[in-house]
Amino acid sequence: MGKIAGYVIDNNVTLGDMLIGTDIDNLNETKNYTVWGLLNLISTQLLSVYVPYTGATGNVDLGGNDLSVNEVTVANGITCLAGNILGYGQIEAGGTLIGQGLITGQFVSATNGMDVGAGPLFANATAGLTGQILESQGPGVSPEWVDQNSILPYAWFFNSTSQAGTVLDAILVEFPSTLISNPYITINDDGLGNFNQITFVTSGTFKIDVSLQIIKAVGTAQYCLAWIRKNGVDIQNCAVYWAFHVGADLSNKTASFVIDGVSTDYVEVVFFTSDSIGLNFGPAYSGINVGVPAVPSSSVIVTKIA
């Protein structure tokens, strides 16, 4: 047999063509092997297990192929089935080491910080909207994107008209105008055109700070009270009491309440008077060197505290 280098080169290779080689499982016998047989060996024995790749000095281009770990395709991130291990030396982002070693089901520790670059941060497969922040949903539950205005919202409402009291009866104080708005705390109409229902659009504990500009006409000593109702029911033991002496009087009174509420609950401020006492609106006016803002007949600041 002549030297292999002297053989004619066949550029038309077919699956049936043969190569000569040594069978190490049979006393190193020299045998012919078909191209098809070699391809079948590679596809069934090697590619089905792993493709060894060592000594890479540059990027690995998979072309149009996917990279899979235990048959879970890696796409836009690394995904593994629970309990499986994806081994690597280290992960870097922007040249910064994030961590070393990764076991599915455990935390990924970003010991040197984590830079997502121009990419979004996802939670529950959602990147969130502008202005939203991540809120914990408790142990064992994924965090969720929420509008930051819903976490500790606050709002300020007032009334720029006077409100007459009803002798020996209660009225519901109105706050039809808005100084500071928030979509999670609103003033609703009671169905009769009266804006007196402070409505919670989010659940929590709320502090309600009420200010009343109380006016008393000339006459005998009188008194008045204020308290709150939730969903039309009086909150017991929460009333505040103010006494007025004989003669005319104009005084600003304040009261604070704390109440739990859930979505769609509403609270009303109740005002009770023994006689000719009402809520007075004091319009703006100019002093000698300063302009004086108007004094609302009633105002309320509502703040979610928990």
Reported as a single tens digit per residue, the pLDDT across 136-193 is 888 988 898 988 777 889 999 999 999 999 999 999 999 999 999 999 999 999 999 9
Window from 87-96, 111-120, 230-239 with minimum mean pLDDT: 87-96
Domains of the chain: which residue ranges? 4-46, 58-118, 154-283+292-304
User: Is 41's pLDDT higher than 90?
Assistant: no
> In percent, how much of the chain has pLDDT > 70?
77
Which pLDDT belongs to residue 158?
Answer: 98
> What's the sign of the alpha-carbon dihedral 81, 113, 62, 44?
negative
Which pLDDT belongs to residue 119?
Answer: 77
Residues 6+ away with beta carbon under 8 Å from 15: 34, 35, 36, 39
Question: Regarding predicted confidence, which is higher, 60 or 126?
Answer: 126
- What whole-number distance in Å separates Cα of residue 303 and Cα of residue 40? 72
Residues 6+ away with beta carbon under 8 Å from 69: 78, 79, 80, 84, 86
Domain 154-283+292-304, architecture per CATH: Sandwich (2.60)
| pLDDT-based confidence at residue 82 (cuts at 50, 70, 90) | very low
pTM of the model: 0.62
CA distance between the termini of the chain:
92
Beta carbons of 269 and 254 less than 8 angstroms apart = no
Which pLDDT belongs to residue 1?
Answer: 60
